[in-house]
Amino acid sequence: MKFSPGSAVEFRTFLPSDHERLVQLWHECDLTRPWNDPADDIRQCIENPSSELLVAIAGDILCGSVMMGCDGHRGWVYYLAVDPKTRHQGIGRTLMDYAETWMRARKVPKIQAMIRHDNLAVRGFYGRLNYRDGDVQLVQKWLTDETS
Ligand SMILES: CC(C)(COP(=O)(O)OP(=O)(O)OC[C@H]1O[C@@H](n2cnc3c(N)ncnc32)[C@H](O)[C@@H]1OP(=O)(O)O)[C@@H](O)C(=O)NCCC(=O)NCCS
C-alpha cells in the first residue's frame, strides 16, 4: 500500500449511513447512468448473500468503493471508485485486493469487470493489476421495458 505517512485508510463493509456520500462519489467518478438507479443497486447488493459492498474511509470521509458479486461461476466487480482527490495512493489496488480475496474465499475461479467502451483511462489501471482483455463480446437485453 502507498498511503502517505500518517494517513490511515480503513476498508469496511458499507453502512446505511454511507449511502448519500457513496452515491455522490459514484457521480463524481462518472459511474452513474440515467438508466441505472444507484440506490436500487445498493439495495440489491446488500440484500443478496452473494454480493457485498466495500468502502474505503480516509479521515472520516468515504473515498472509495467496490461492489462484488458471484453467481457460482464467475465473480464480478462493479462500482470500483476512488475519489479523484485520493487517487494514485494505492486505494484502488487495495479495493481490488479485497475483492480478489472475497472471490477466492468463495472458490470463484475468475474475477471480471465490465469497462465502458469510452473509459480508456481505467484500462491502464487494470493492466497494472494484471487483468487482461477477455476474448468475449458482451450481449445484453433489457427486460424492464418488455411488453407481453
Ligand atoms: C480506477 C481507479 C479506481 C484507480 O484508483 P487509484 O486509487 O488511483 O488506483 P491505485 O493508486 O491503487 O493504482 C494502482 C496501480 O494502477 C496504476 N494506475 C492507476 N490509475 C491508472 C490509470 N488511469 N492508467 C494507468 N495506470 C493507472 C497506478 O499507477 C498503480 O500502479 P503501481 O501500483 O504499479 O504503481 C480510479 O481511477 C477511479 O475511480 N476511476 C474512475 C472510476 C472507474 O473508472 N472505475 C472503474 C469502472 S470499470
What is the Cα–Cα distance from 148 to 141, expressed in whole angstroms?
A: 15
Which amino acid is residue 97, in one-letter code?
A: D
Most informative mutation of 83, 85, 125 for ligand 1 (most atoms within 8 A of CB): 125
Which amino acid is residue 78, in one-letter code?
A: Y
The CATH number of 9-128 is: 3.40.630.30
Task: For the chain, give every domain's residue range.
Answer: 9-128
CB 95 within 8 A of CB 54: yes
Q: Using alpha carbons, select from 119, 101, 121 the residue that is nearest to residue 111.
A: 101
| Residue 148 pLDDT | 45
Protein residues whose CB sits closer than 6 Å to any atom of ligand 1? 29, 31, 80-82, 87-93, 113, 115, 119, 121-122, 124-125, 128
CB 68 within 8 A of CB 55: no
Taking only the tens place, the pLDDT of each residue in 36-53 is 999 999 999 999 999 999
Cell triple for residue 82? 476512488
pLDDT value at 146 more than 80: no
